[in-house]
Amino acid sequence: MPKLVLALGSPTLDKLTSAGVIMTGAAADDMEIEVFILVNAGHAFKKNAEINQMSDQTQTADEFNAELTRLNSSNWLELFEMAKDLTDVSIHVCSLAGKIAHAEQMEDFIDIVDDICGIGEYIDSTQSADVNLFI
C-alpha cells in the first residue's frame, strides 16, 4: 500500500482544508496516511478550538466557510474524519506542538488524534513514504 506522510504546521482554515482534501484524495487511492501535527497546528486539534484564521488576506474565515457551505463542501474536520473512515490514517501530534498549544495529554485533543509523539517519529515515517508533503 503506498504511503502519504503529511506534516501540518499551520492552524489556518485554508491549510487545514487543503490537508483534508489531499487526505481524502489519497484515501480514495487507498494510500496509508500519516499526519504529523507540528508547531502552531496543535491549536487546531485541541478540544473546543475555534479556527477562524486564514493564511492570506484575500478572504476572511467567515467568507471561506460561506463558500464551503455554498459549494456543499465538507469542512476540514469532516474531511479528516472522512479520510479516516476510508483508509488507514494515523494523526500524530508532535510533543512540541502540544506544548505550544498548552495541551500535553491525549484528553486535551479532539478524538481524531491518535497519539502524541516526538519529531523522530516524523523523520522515521518520511523515510518509508512514497509522498511527503509539508503544509
pLDDT digits 0-9 by tens, 77-127: 999 999 999 999 999 999 999 999 999 999 999 999 999 999 999 999 999
Residue 58 forms part of a structural domain: no
Residue 52 banded pLDDT, cuts 50, 70, 90: confident
Q: What range defines the domain where residue 69 resides?
A: 3-46+63-134
Residue 103 forms part of a structural domain: yes
Strands (E) in the chain, as ranges, are: 3-8, 32-37, 89-94, 115-117, 131-134
Residue 54 forms part of a structural domain: no
Residue 53 forms part of a structural domain: no
Residue 57 forms part of a structural domain: no
Side-chain-facing half-sphere of 1: CA atoms under 13 Å: 15
Number of structural domains in the chain: 1
Residue 97 forms part of a structural domain: yes
Q: Any idea what the CATH number is for the domain that residue 7 is in?
A: 3.40.1260.10
Tens-digit pLDDT profile for residues 2-20: 999 999 999 999 999 999 9
